[in-house]
């Protein structure tokens, strides 16, 4: 009985909290369940950490930040429902989300219509920010990473014949692959094979065998770590010992863990990927973040966590500068964001509301450790 009273009290308390005017409500929607839940949860971890930091430092505009999180199960229509609820029921002042461009595209028109700023941490499809002047992104768009890795492969690694293995179900992957191929061919290189898989697949040997027969010097795999780890293993099992290249989807401690044949990360030794930051960068913002993240979640942050963290901070910073939780003012300040010192680099929002920031190329070395290779500026 006592338990129930306490439970009831807690409920009414939390309900009471929600009604108080001394909080700033921020909405977040993401895939907390479903096939892409791991990305949504990482993003949420990053956002939670940023929020706690701000609240611990006294909050925003004298108020605490309350983040209301809604799950969209990785479905576009549920994303629309979640955003509709956040915007019209919870009356949030701004929205953070989504990881996947398809869900961001479902949420963006609703935010735009209601004049609520939306910041997506990691939707790379150029269409997303074209939905209106309230929609922002703080990650690279597809062309930048694809071009950077193509240049890196051609110029630094002297690769002349490359193969592509992309996730056809994932717009991020398809986009990167497209721009990689265009740039690489433009430089004079040759794409000898273009194969694809679907997110959730486990066996890639057919594609890898076929690629092997075409004798490329490197394979560009712009996928997520969830599949890339297995791909790397299977490539090595088939005796395909050429460098694999990828994008920021690779960044996760799980990647090298899965890509382990004999020693940790050995299946990915001497492979390269583009990322937002290098873990060995002495920059205190980065080191501080990694330390705190490890302490809080007992694991190394992945790219999604970093982007979630940065997105939240960039948004909170804009609210602080706006001095008011009003949508139009927040939007104006978001648009003015310049050289924001995020973990994922110095971020500037351009006139198309996309992020301009440098990327780094990392090499996976002995024991799965990342080594900094190069910085590419937009």
- Select 198 or 377, whichever has its Cβ closest to other proteins: 198
Q: Which stretch binds other proteins (CB under 8 A): 254-262, 277-285, 320-328, 348-356?
A: 254-262
* CA dist., res. 196 & res. 358, Å (int): 28
10 part of the interface to other proteins, by CB under 8 A:
yes
Query: Quick check: helix, strand or coil at residue 95?
Result: strand
**How far, in Å, CA of 351 to CA of 71, rounded?**
31
CB 4 to other proteins: min, Å? 13
- Token pair listed for 195: 């194969």
Point out which span in 234-242, 282-290, 344-352, 365-373 binds other proteins (CB under 8 A): 234-242
Phi, psi (degrees; rounded to nearest 5) at 14: -65, -35
Does residue 346 belong to the site contacting other proteins (CB under 8 A)? no
Give the binding-site size for other proteins (rule: CB under 8 A). Answer: 72
Residue 99 is given by DSSP the state S
| Residue of 61, 76, 335, 369 that binds other proteins (CB under 8 A) | 76
Would you count residue 352 as binding other proteins (CB under 8 A)?
A: no
What's 63's DSSP letter? B
Determine the Cα–Cα distance for residues 129 and 124; give it in Å rounded to an integer.
Answer: 9
Contact 134, 111 (CB under 8 A): yes
Q: Is 200 in the site for other proteins (CB under 8 A)?
A: yes
Binding pattern to other proteins, positions 103-122, x when CB under 8 A? --xx--x-------------
Restricted to residues 126-145, the positions that interact with other proteins (CB under 8 A) are 127
Among 6, 22, 58, 77, binds other proteins (CB under 8 A): 77
| Residue 241 touches other proteins, criterion: CB under 8 A | no
Decide if residue 363 touches other proteins (CB under 8 A).
no
CA-based nearest residue to 171, from 133, 204, 213, 123: 123
Among positions 143-162, residues that touch other proteins (CB under 8 A) are none
The closest of 354, 344, 325, 310 to 135, measured between CA atoms, is 354
Do residues 54 and 94 lie in contact, with contact meaning Cβ atoms separated by under 8 Å? Answer: no
Enter the tokens of residue 262: 């004999």
**Please, what is the minimum distance in Å from the beta carbon of residue 188 to other proteins?**
25
CB of 193 to other proteins, least distance (A): 10
């Amino acid at each position: 009985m006592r338990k129930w009273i306490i439970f009831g009290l807690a409920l009414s308390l939390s309900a009471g909290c929600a009604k108080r005017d001394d909080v700033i409500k921020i909405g977040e929607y993401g895939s907390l369940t479903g096939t892409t839940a791991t990305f949504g949860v990482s993003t949420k971890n990053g956002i939670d950490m940023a929020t706690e930091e701000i609240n611990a430092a006294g909050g925003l505009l004298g108020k605490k930040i309350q983040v209301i999180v809604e799950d969209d199960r990785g479905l576009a229509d549920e994303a629309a429902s979640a955003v509709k609820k956040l915007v019209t029921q919870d009356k949030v002042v701004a929205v953070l989300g989504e990881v996947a461009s398809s869900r961001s595209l479902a949420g963006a028109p609703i935010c735009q219509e209601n004049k609520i700023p939306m910041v997506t941490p990691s939707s790379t499809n150029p269409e997303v920010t074209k939905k209106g002047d309230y929609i922002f992104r703080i990650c690279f768009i597809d062309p930048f990473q694809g071009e950077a890795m193509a240049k890196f492969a051609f110029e630094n690694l002297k690769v002349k014949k490359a193969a592509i293995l992309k996730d056809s179900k994932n717009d991020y992957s398809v986009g990167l692959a497209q721009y990689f191929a265009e740039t690489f061919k433009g430089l004079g290189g040759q794409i000898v094979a273009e194969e694809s898989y679907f997110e959730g697949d486990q066996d890639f040997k057919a594609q890898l065998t076929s690629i092997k027969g075409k004798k490329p010097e490197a394979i560009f795999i712009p996928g997520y770590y969830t599949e890339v780890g297995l791909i790397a293993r299977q490539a090595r099992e088939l005796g395909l010992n050429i460098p694999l290249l990828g994008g920021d989807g690779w960044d996760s401690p799980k990647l090298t863990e899965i890509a382990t044949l004999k020693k940790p990360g050995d299946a990915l030794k001497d492979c390269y990927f583009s990322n937002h930051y290098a873990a060995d960068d002495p920059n205190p913002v980065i080191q501080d973040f990694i330390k705190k993240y490890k302490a809080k979640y007992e694991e190394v942050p992945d790219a999604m966590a970093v982007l979630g963290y940065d997105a939240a901070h960039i948004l909170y910073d804009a609210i602080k500068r706006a001095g008011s939780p009003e949508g139009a003012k927040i939007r104006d300040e978001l648009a003015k964001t310049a050289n924001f010192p995020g973990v994922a680099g110095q971020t500037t929002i351009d006139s198309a509301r996309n992020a301009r920031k440098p990327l780094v190329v990392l090499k996976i070395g002995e024991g799965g450790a990342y080594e900094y290779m190069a910085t590419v500026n937009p």
